[in-house]
Structures are given as C-alpha cells and as structure tokens.
C-alpha cells in the first residue's frame, strides 16, 4: 500500500533522513519508534511532501508520489494527524471537520461521526481551541476519518494527553484499524505502540535500524533498551 | 470652532473606514504570506488613477467602482505569481522586491498618466445637514461603501469555504496542505484580494483626494500604523485602529495642524509598541 525506499531529506543543510525504507500493507498497523530527533516525524512529513525529499522514492497504492503536489495526497486517501494535533483553534469544530472536504459532507457521514464522537456533536458550533487536549485529538482523528482515508498517519497521538484519556485515544486508533484502514503511527509511548501495532520499525539517526513484530520485540529487551533507552 | 472639530472628526471617520479597507488588505497579506508589502499604498494609488480613468472613459463612476477592484484582483494574481512567490518566506527580500514594485508602479503611472495631480468630481453632488453642519453627501456614501466592503469581507472570511481556507492557511499552512487545501493557490488569491481591496479603496477615495502617482506614498505609513496598533495580523484590530487613528488625527488637526496630528499618531504607535507590543487589540478574535 505505502512503500518508502531509500528516502532522504534535509532540514536546511542538515540531513535528517538518510535512506529510510518502510512499508505498510492494507489494513496493517505499523509503528515507527525511536528516541527524540531520530527522524520519525520527518519521515511522515517527507512521505507527505511537507518536507522536501532529496532522494529515494515514495509510492502509494502503486502510484509514485514523486511528482505530485503535497495537497493532492489527501485525495488519494492519505490521512494525517500531525504532532500537536493540528487543530485550527479559531475555527468551529464543524469547520475543522469540513476543512478537507470539497463540497458539503453527506449528512449520513456526519451523523455517523457524531454518533461515534458525541462530545464533538455537542460542541460543533464552538471554537475548536476551547476543547480539551483529548477532545482536540479526537477532533483531529475525526477530521481525518471524514475524508475516508485508506491510510492514516498519526504523529504522537497520545502526547500531552491526560493519562485517563490515553486509553480512549488508543481505543479509537484500534477501532480505525478494525475498519480496515491502515495506520502508520509515530509514538513515544512504547506500551501504546506495542499494543496497537502489527509491526514495528526502530529508527536511529535518520535510518531504520530494526524491524520486528511487537511479540519479537518483547523478547529482545536489549534491542529496545539500546534504541529507545527504556526497559520493557 | 466646534463645527470645525466635528467636521474634521467626521472626515476622520470617513477616511478611517477607507483606510481600514486598505490596511485590512495589508494585514491579511502580512498574516498569510508573512511579507511586508511596501507597494500596498501604490496599489491604492493605482485604484485612484484607475477609478478616474474608467470614469472619464465611460462616463460612469459606478462602473469604475465595480470594474477597478476586479482589475485590481487580476493585477494582484499576476503580481503574486511574478513578484511575490519567488521571494516568499524571505522577509528581508520581500521588502526589497515590493519596494522595487512600488517604484515601478509609480513610474508606470507617471509615464502613462502624467505627473500632474488631478481632481475628480464626486458622482453625487450636494450636502446634507449632519449634526448641525452641512456635510458632503458623497463623503457619507464613501463611508457607507467602505463599511459595506469591510462587512462583506468579514462575512466572506467567516461564511465561505474559501474564507475558511484562508483562515486555516494563515494559522497552519502545513496541516492545511495535508488536508488537501491548495496553499499556493490560496496565497495567490489572498494577495489578489488584498490588492482588490486597495484598488476599491482607491476608487472610493478618488473623488475626495488628489489623484496622482504619489498618492500612495502618504497613505502607506498610516496603514502600517493601523496594522501595528491593531496587532499584526489581527484583522478586526486593524479596522478599529484605522478608524480610531483617523478620527484622532481629524480632531488634532482641528486644533493644530496635520503634521502635529501625524506626530501624535506616531507617538500613539510608539506607546503601543512599548507597552502592548502585540497591539492594542491583541487577543481579539482573528
């Protein structure tokens, strides 16, 4: 579905990605793990063309994304929930939800979404900036879902969220995967990542250095400690 | 004496609304593209000259009022593509390029239209009694046109898809791109809208100001003061500051002279920069 091969990118003159190769199959949940600053967010941004790619290739459902303008990727089914949620605080909840839609959204889609996220329905006319951090994250995910993506990329979805809401976010992400939508998740919370993912990539210094299933990773705590600096 | 104060205060209000229209264009361009458009006053000047030229050619001011902003929009699209986009996100460079654009616009108008200042007859003649003084009907109409255009612009920003996209791109262009919003096109349209608003302000102001190639030079500092006092990128604040400054200058002029009035405005701006660097209306909804 998503195939990234030898991806390189720079920020200024500093190379941040040095040949990243990853893949995500339809319906699969893949986690990208690593310490701060190893290139996880840059990988997502480079896939989407938000960070200029200097080499390598990115293809999605067999289509090379190299020559496509970044704003055209959403229409191909690539959804993105950025780090920090990317909510537009001065727009209403409903304006945020409709932002990526070309026309009026079908009423049934809204009804389904509001049934699933009743807090958003209650606050649909409210400025999104007045929502709590957890509600904003739900809004960011809902805004992505309303565009009917086939792959969602989530960057640190539980960062800065109250601990009691983390499990709700985790449940939502699991529900997305159950619906057959592929998920590529960047996550600092190792427990969350291992619980959600079918497959895990570990990154270090702009490269993928290890690939494993969560079960395999649990059996190699040395690897986890070496690349993530934490104990399982 | 009190009649003079009142007349100048009302004049200030009229000018304030027109300048608010121009300053709003400057502010939205700054907020979205992060550029300081030194040529913005000259786009207003092009509007005044265009207004006079179309009125003379067709005999209809009302046609000019519609046609010149449309032409301004098209001019803005071309300028954004040719002058602004190649230097975007390089603030220092945009000052140089828009300064060059300012020179080119002034010299182009001088070469084609001449250096002689001209006056334009107002499309509506006569006076009406207003708070005990006889006041020009056209000046009241000009204030109404400007107020309607301002209200229309805010409605456009709040109620239309394009307006919502402009507000989203102003806040976070990267996430907007990821959601499928064509950010480069939105930037072009926004610059064109700012240009059209300056041109519209020019047509409205043409019958109450001198029409010449340097008309924009005087108005630009006033617009910048309104943008700074209102809060950089704060659209409602910009409008409020433009009206307040113009009324204040009108009142000060009635007891002193225009130079002192401008000094007072500059002092107010300095005070705002010192004590409220994010603008007098920082925190207002943008």
Name the band, by pLDDT with cuts 50, 70 and 90, for residue A17.
very high
Contacts of A70 in chain B (CB under 8 A): 177-178
For the domain covering B2-119+130-275, report its CATH number: 1.10.3470
Residue A230 has pLDDT above 60, yes or no: yes
Residue B188 has pLDDT above 90, yes or no: yes
Cα B229 from Cα A71, distance rounded (Å): 35
Identify the pLDDT of residue A126. Answer: 94
- pLDDT tens for each residue of B32-49: 888 889 999 999 999 999
Residue B236 to chain A, least CA–CA distance (Å): 14
Residue A104 has pLDDT above 80, yes or no: no
Residue B282 has pLDDT above 70, yes or no: no
pTM of the model: 0.88
Contacts of B179 in chain A (CB under 8 A): 74, 80, 99-100, 143, 147
Q: Tell me the pairing of strands A53-60 and A2-11.
A: antiparallel
- Tell whether B182 lies on the interface with A, counting CB pairs under 8 A: yes
- pLDDT tens for each residue of B94-115: 899 999 999 999 999 999 988 8
Mean pLDDT of chain B: 90
ipTM entry: 0.90
Type and span of the H or E element at A155: strand A151-155
DSSP string, B204-239: HHGGGS-BSTTHHHHHHHHHHHHHHHH-TT-HHHHH
Identify the pLDDT of residue B286. Answer: 46
| Residue A205, domain extent | 2-228
- pLDDT tens for each residue of A48-90: 999 999 999 999 999 999 889 999 999 999 999 999 889 999 9
Q: Tell me the pairing of strands A182-186 and A151-155.
A: parallel
Write the CA distances from A170 to A154, A176, A177, B190, integer angstroms.
12, 10, 11, 39
Identify the pLDDT of residue B283. Answer: 57
Mean pLDDT of chain A: 90
Residue A20 exposed, middle or buried by CB count within 10 Å (0-12, 13-18, 19+): buried
Residue B1 has pLDDT above 60, yes or no: no
CATH number at residue A113: 3.40.50.300
Contacts of A75 in chain B (CB under 8 A): 180
Handedness of CA A118, A119, A125, A128 (dihedral sign): negative
Domain boundaries, chain B: 2-119+130-275
> A197: which 2 tokens?
């993912």
Residue A73 to chain B, least CA–CA distance (Å): 7
Identify the pLDDT of residue A3. Answer: 94
- Tell whether B158 lies on the interface with A, counting CB pairs under 8 A: no
């Amino acid at each position: 579905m998503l195939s990234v091969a030898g991806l390189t990118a720079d920020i200024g003159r500093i190379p941040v990605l040095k040949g990243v190769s990853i893949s995500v199959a339809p319906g699969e949940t893949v986690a990208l793990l690593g310490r701060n600053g190893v290139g996880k967010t840059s990988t997502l941004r480079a896939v989407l063309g938000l960070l200029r790619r200097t080499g390598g290739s990115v293809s999605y459902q067999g289509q090379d994304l190299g020559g496509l303008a970044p704003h055209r990727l959403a229409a191909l089914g690539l959804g993105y929930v950025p780090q920090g949620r990317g909510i537009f605080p001065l727009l209403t909840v409903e304006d945020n939800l409709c932002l990526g839609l070309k026309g009026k959204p079908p009423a049934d889609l809204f009804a389904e979404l509001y049934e699933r996220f009743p807090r958003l329905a209650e606050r649909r006319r409210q400025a999104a900036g007045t929502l709590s951090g957890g509600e904003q994250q739900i809004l960011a995910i809902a805004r992505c879902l309303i565009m009917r993506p086939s792959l969602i990329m989530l960057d640190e979805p539980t960062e800065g969220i109250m601990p009691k809401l983390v499990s709700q976010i985790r449940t939502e992400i699991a529900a997305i995967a159950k619906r057959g939508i592929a998920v590529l998740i960047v996550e600092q919370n190792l427990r969350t990542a291992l619980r959600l993912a079918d497959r895990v990539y570990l990154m270090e210094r702009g490269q993928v250095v290890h690939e494993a299933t969560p079960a395999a990773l649990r059996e190699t705590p040395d690897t986890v400690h070496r690349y993530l600096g934490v104990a399982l | 004496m009190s009649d003079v104060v009142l007349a100048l205060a009302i004049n200030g209000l009229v000018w304030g609304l027109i300048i608010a229209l121009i300053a709003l264009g400057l502010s939205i361009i700054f907020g979205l593209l992060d550029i300081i458009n030194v040529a913005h006053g000259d786009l207003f000047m092009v509007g005044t000259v265009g207004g006079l030229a179309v009125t003379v050619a067709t005999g209809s001011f009302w046609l000019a009022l519609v046609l010149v902003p449309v032409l301004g929009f098209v001019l803005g699209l071309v300028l954004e593509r040719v002058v602004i986009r190649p230097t975007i996100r390089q603030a220092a460079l945009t000052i140089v390029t828009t300064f060059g654009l300012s020179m080119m616009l002034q010299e182009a108008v001088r070469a084609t239209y001449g250096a002689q200042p001209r006056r334009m007859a107002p499309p509506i003649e006569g006076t009406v009694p207003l708070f005990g003084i006889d006041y020009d009907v056209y000046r009241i109409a000009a204030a109404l046109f400007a107020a309607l255009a301002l209200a229309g612009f805010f409605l456009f920003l709040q109620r239309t898809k394009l307006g919502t996209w402009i507000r989203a791109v102003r806040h976070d262009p990267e996430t907007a791109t990821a959601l499928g919003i064509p950010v480069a096109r939105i930037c072009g349209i926004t610059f064109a809208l700012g240009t059209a608003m300056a041109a519209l302000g020019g047509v409205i102001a043409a019958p109450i100001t001198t029409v010449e190639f340097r008309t924009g030079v005087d108005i630009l500092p006033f617009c910048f003061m309104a943008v700074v006092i209102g809060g950089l990128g704060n659209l409602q604040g910009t409008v409020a500051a433009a009206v307040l400054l113009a009324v204040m200058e009108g009142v000060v002029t009635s007891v002193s002279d225009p130079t002192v009035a401008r000094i007072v405005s500059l002092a107010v701006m300095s005070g705002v920069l010192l004590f409220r660097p994010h603008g007098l209306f920082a925190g207002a909804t943008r």
